[in-house]
Amino acid sequence: MSVNFIYLASQSPRRRQLLEQLGVAYELLLPGPDEDAESLEAEIAGESPEHYVARVTEAKLEAALKRLKTRGLAPAPVLCSDTTVAIDQRILGKPQDADDAFQTLSLLSGRSHRVITAVAIGLGERHTSALNVSEVDFIEVPEEQIRRYIASGEPFGKAGAYAIQSQAAAWISRIEGSYSGIMGLPLYETAQLLQRWDVVF
């Protein structure tokens, strides 16, 4: 039986834009003021970045499915996603402040890093998920450029302190993987999952 819409449990405008690019009809299913959504992103010592992203995405999905039930909304599949940036086994999350953003971007400068995005869709007991890993090379970025970028406010709220669709794109010399995955929702993997759920798009 075909599914005409899904719930998107994400505050990211980029994920909304990417779902719209696929032509998927969705409704937002966002955390209420009583939920501590940020706590779901807490790291566990010794955890690999790939395991971290998959675990956080599953936790977000569980929270969203509980939200769906509590609010008594019409049943439909719920989509969640999480993205992180990693150098080796080090997770580079959202910067806490300007100093943290500077440390992160200085670490990325002149190096290759991974952008890991997990996607999960669920309803009731059925959950399906996928993981996308892309590799990104940064040129050596002058300190003055990093400071200007931080002053623009762009790094905040973004894993790895940058967005590929911002001026930071000028620092990227090579990408191997999924551009949309680096933005926050890998469209190939997402489309494959949606098809398994018989979502119309």
Catalytically annotated residue among 82, 97, 99, 137: 82
Residue positions counted in the chain:
201
Q: Which of 130, 134, 133 is nearest to 190 (CA)?
A: 130
Detail the DSSP E strand segments found in the chain: 6-8, 26-28, 78-87, 90-92, 112-123, 126-138, 172-176
Say whether 99 is catalytic: no
* Angle formed by the axes of helices 187-196 and 13-22, nearest 10°: 60
Virtual torsion, Cα 51, 53, 54, 60, nearest 10 deg: 140
Angle at Cα 89 formed by Cα 86 and Cα 90, nearest 5°? 55
Annotated catalytic sites, by residue? Answer: 82
